[in-house]
Chain A
């Protein structure tokens, strides 16, 4: 099992979120690039695919992607600060703030998308 007792603490969970979001984004990127590449010769195909984004389920998936991107960035900023600035004892608070901020941002995106 992944979540063994010693892995139950908040900063380990923050690590897991950072790794899973990073992996998710890396898997998404080729599809993202492929779609934009279609603009070169097949803009009808591109528009066909973009119309998928009118479906509620796809909008929700986009909300997920925005959250992944935001949480990987804000979580990553926490790690950069941890590594390159003087030590700050409030790492758990900062990690929680990164998640909260990302959720709000993704929610803002969803509100405008629907």
Chain B
């Protein structure tokens, strides 16, 4: 069910995300003070190549990582197999990637 290359893809996406998660946590802790509002978020991100690239990479890596993680859980705990397992894995990947890309576009563009 889990080919070795899929396993590697999950570990590589994890390695890509480790510094991004640290950055994300840091930003959250800094900006949470005084509450959240869209103007504050957007003033930081609008037109920023850095945030666009960072969050874009983050969304791609998390879509791969979460799709593989959910694939393993569905196989081990819900007995999904074969085409059904592949279909759901790709679906999770596609939905996360599309919603994530839209979110990045919304805050950067």
Contacts and interface: CB of A to CB of B under 8 A. Distances in A.
Q: Is any CB of A less than 8 Å from a CB of B in the complex?
A: yes
Contact of A105 (B25, B36, B104): B25
A43 B38 contact: yes
A22 to B, nearest CB: 5
**A interface residue count range (under 10 / 10 to 19 / 20 to 34 / 35 or more):** 35 or more
Given A26-B70, A80-B11, A112-B33, A32 B103 contact: yes
A39 B36 contact: no
A113 interface: yes
B32 interface: yes
Given A29-B62, A80-B14, A39 B96 contact: no
B36 A25 contact: no
Interface in B18-75: 18, 21-22, 24-25, 28-29, 32-33, 35-38, 41-42, 59, 62, 66, 69-70, 73
B96 A30 contact: yes
A83 to B, nearest CB: 7
Given A47-B37, A47-B38, A69-B21, 14 more contacts: A32-B103, A33-B99, A38-B106, A46-B38, A50-B38, A53-B35, A62-B32, A73-B18, A80-B14, A83-B11, A105-B29, A108-B29, A112-B33, A113-B33
The 9 closest A-B pairs by CB, nearest first: A36-B103, A33-B99, A40-B106, A33-B103, A39-B106, A26-B66, A73-B21, A50-B36, A37-B102
